[in-house]
Structure 1
Amino acid sequence: MENALKLEQVGEIARLTIDRPEKGNMLTLEMLDYLSSLIIDAGCDPDIKAISITSIGDDFCLGRDPDGAPEQAPKNGLEMREALTAPILGFYDAVRGADIPVVATVQGRAAGFGCAAAAVCDLTVAADDARFSLPEMKNNLPPTAAISAHIDRSMPKSVAWMVYSTDEIDAEMALAAGFVSQVVPASELYDRSNEVLGTITSRSRASLETCKTYLANARLMETPQASDYAANMLALVMSSK
């Protein structure tokens, strides 16, 4: 499993690489748990300011690997939730819960969980030939877990289109939907991603943590409370310098 998921610290960046191109970079549930633990650990490391998620091969990630399903079928809904959905939701929680920005770099296809993983990251840089899809309804499987990754990232009607039509959308449509941050020519993908990561790591960790916390919480507040929260957080950071 460790051969398929690689962690390398480069300066102040934790670089996580999915290296399973022969499987379209699909991840088993066990791999998802491991990937989440790497993100959690990197997010807690005071020497790390950004987390990068990339993959090797033609496609970013084609979703969950069905070959990694539990050997024994869950006996009830609670067991099914724990066995099948907990690792997926745990990944989303790890990304959202990391104190620092998580940046996805997407090439090729991102399907199912792969699409949701790209969406849930704080920043997503996509090649102009990238493609995104939520194909689960082809098998009458409601992709509620994947939708939960999009819920605070994407335009609701754009997600609904992907869910109900099961159509693949291109990178420009994903940008318009809100879950891709920037689209660049495929030949420039990694240069641009590295440039963004370099910009992030040039900032103080305290400022990065403050921005991520505010972006996550302010949207849940009424405007007056969000304004007060902004003033308090800014004052706290400035007074600590």
Structure 2
Amino acid sequence: MSEQIRIEQDGRVLRVIFNRPEDNGVSDSMAAALSAALATAHETSDVVVVSSVGPDFCTGRIRDAGGPPSAEAYARRPEYDAIFNSYKSVRSAQVPVVGILRGRVMGYGTALAALCDVSFAADTATFNIPEITHNVMPTMVMSALYDRVNRNAILWMAYSAEFIDAKQAMDWGIVSQVVAQDKLDAAAAGFLDVLLSRPRPAILGLKEYLRVAPRMDEQAAIDYARALHSMVNTSAAMKKAH
């Protein structure tokens, strides 16, 4: 597993690097390793950066198990847990998750790109949801996109399986920024410098609010904002002189 995914501490940054350049896929065990890293990232880091070795960020999910999947639904369902759990781990991570995307971003890659709190895409990156071309209904990916991307865009991608360019992906809310390919790493590094200059309670509080508030009714979301605002802004770290 250490050969397929690298997890490296870089100061206050935890770097998760998919390292499968022979096919640019992400296996179920790699997704499980991502989940494990994100679950404890806040203990050592202020941000997690997810990137990939090779020409593509991710060309989709790859099953670890040999042989065909079980023909029985209840036996097969747990095979998908690593993927669904990795989606949940990005949403639940206490620190921001930043994606650096280049090349093809397909299926699981598209889901992960949209789930990241901030994502930078090379202007040459392309995105699609190819599952239906393999006679697979792409509800796994859609479970990551349903609250990130508008309904019409999701369904067009799911039905057509066609690639969209990085600018379209940004317009649809899959990525945050599109950058010239030769400036991608520098742009992401510059953003990390800015992020790490912010007080930690605010970094944590912003992600916590946007993880929880959309599930609340209007008054509850306002009340939660009031409480979190008071709690974070009275913390010692917010009072330090810059």
The TM tier, using the shorter chain, reads over 0.9
TM-score (norm 1): 0.93
Distance apart, 1:72 and its partner CA: 6.6
Aligned-partner SS, 2:61? coil
1:55 aligns with 2:79: no
Q: Which moved more, 1:166-175 or 1:151-160?
A: 151-160
One-letter identity of the residue aligned with 1:181: S
Conservation of the 8 A alpha-carbon contact between 2:125 and 2:165: yes
CA offsets per residue over residues 124-148 of structure 1, 9 Å max, x none? 1101010000011112211101001
Pick from 111, 128, 136 the counterpart of residue 133 of structure 1.
128
Structure 1 CA distance for aligned equivalents of residues 94 and 202 of structure 2 = 10
Distance apart, 1:52 and its partner CA: 0.2
Structure 2: state its 5+ residue gaps: 237-242
Structure 1 CA distance for aligned equivalents of residues 235 and 118 of structure 2 = 27
Q: CA RMSD in A?
A: 1.4
1:161 paired residue number: 156
Distance apart, 1:173 and its partner CA: 0.6
CA offsets per residue over residues 175-215 of structure 1, 9 Å max, x none? 01011101011111011111112211222222111100111
Percent identical among aligned pairs is: 35
1:74 aligns with 2:70: yes
CA offsets per residue over residues 8-44 of structure 1, 9 Å max, x none? 11110001111111112x122122212211222223x
Distance apart, 1:53 and its partner CA: 0.3
2:6 paired residue number: 6
1:200 paired residue number: 195
One-letter identity of the residue aligned with 1:69: A
Pick from 114, 122, 131 the counterpart of residue 109 of structure 2.
114
Size of the aligned set, in residue pairs, is 236
TM-score (norm 2): 0.93
Q: How does 1:1-241 map to 2 (within 5 A)?
A: 1-24=1-24, 26-43=25-42, 45=43, 47-66=44-63, 68-71=64-67, 73-74=69-70, 76-83=72-79, 85-241=80-236
Conservation of the 8 A alpha-carbon contact between 2:92 and 2:211: no
Structure 2 CA distance for aligned equivalents of residues 129 and 72 of structure 1 = 35
Which 4+ stretches in 1 moved above 6 angstroms? none
Distance apart, 1:232 and its partner CA: 0.9
Aligned-partner SS, 2:40? helix
Conservation of the 8 A alpha-carbon contact between 1:28 and 1:69: no
